[in-house]
Structure formats: C-alpha cells, structure tokens
C-alpha cells in the first residue's frame, strides 16, 4: 500500500497508508481526529525491491500454486529402483506372488 502525506489545518502534516482506490478521500488526523486533505504536492511512496529479492518472491509465488515437476526441469529421481512383484499374464490379469489372497489387484 502506498504512503500518502496529509496536511491537517491545526496539527500540520502527517503520513498514512491507504489503498490506491482511496487516494482522493480525506483522512483523519491521528492527533486531533479532524478530516485532512491529501497533500497534492507529494507523490505516493511505493516500496521497491532489488532484483534478487523480487526474483525470490516470484519463485515463492509460483511454487505455491504451480510447483515444478521433475519431468519439466529435466531432473531425474535418485535412489534405488524398486521392482514390482506383480506378474502380468497373457490374458491381461495380474497376480502378486506372496500377497494376501483376499486382496484384489487392479
């Protein structure tokens, strides 16, 4: 949110944060509570980040809803491969040797 400067008739100038949609509305003075108009000679102060911090924020925002996958980046999974014990038969059925007989296979 930008920081705007306001000028109170009795207390002088003060700064307040407000959404850009309310830039033209008067603000209450924190000292006396009177409605004060925005100082039109000042521009809103917007915070800026250096390029490394901005890149870090963009990576975090992207990762929150669209994480990278190993296939997209070319990374390969590490660790030993685990072989499946399932046996595929000619008729298309599968069986698991040593598995519980009441378990159904897919």
Q: How does pLDDT run across 36-95, given as a tens digit for each residue? A: 888 766 555 566 778 888 888 777 776 666 665 655 556 666 666 777 777 788 888 877
pTM of the complete model: 0.38
Give me the pLDDT at residue 64, please: 61
Contact 35, 7 (CB under 8 A): no
Sign of CA dihedral 56, 59, 64, 65: positive
CA distances from 26 to 10, 21, 44 (A): 15, 12, 15
Quote the CA–CA distance of 52 and 64 in Å, as a whole number. Answer: 19
């Amino acid at each position: 949110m930008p920081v705007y400067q306001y000028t109170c008739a009795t207390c002088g100038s003060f700064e307040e944060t407000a959404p850009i949609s309310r830039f033209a509305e008067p603000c209450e003075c924190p000292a006396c509570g009177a409605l004060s108009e925005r100082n039109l000679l000042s521009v809103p102060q917007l915070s800026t980040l250096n390029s490394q911090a901005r890149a870090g924020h963009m990576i975090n925002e992207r990762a929150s809803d669209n994480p990278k996958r190993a296939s997209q980046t070319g990374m390969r999974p590490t660790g030993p491969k685990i072989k499946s014990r399932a046996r595929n038969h000619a008729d298309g059925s599968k069986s698991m040797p040593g598995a519980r007989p009441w378990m159904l296979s897919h």
